[in-house]
Amino acid sequence: MEHACKVTVLEKRLFPELQAEYLADPQSGACSCFEVGQEFLFERNEKRDDFWHFRE
């Protein structure tokens, strides 16, 4: 069975109070991994399983 899912980064938010409570470095700032407008296509079929291997 084949599945596909497209994910688009719509916005980036920063919550300093949550960073202070949960991050090892509370001053790390906004996420540097993703940018607004980026799109990711995840596919799952017999030969591919992006859902489990994202960001490798």
User: CA-to-CA distance for 46 and 24, rounded, in angstroms?
Assistant: 39
Query: Structural domain of residue 8, as residue ranges?
Result: 3-53
pLDDT, tens digit (0-9, with 9 covering 90-100), for 1-56: 788 999 999 999 999 999 999 999 999 988 888 999 999 998 888 888 887 665 55
Number of compact structural domains in the chain: 1
- What is the predicted pLDDT for the residue at 46? 87
Q: How many residues can be counted in the chain?
A: 56
- What is the predicted pLDDT for the residue at 51? 73
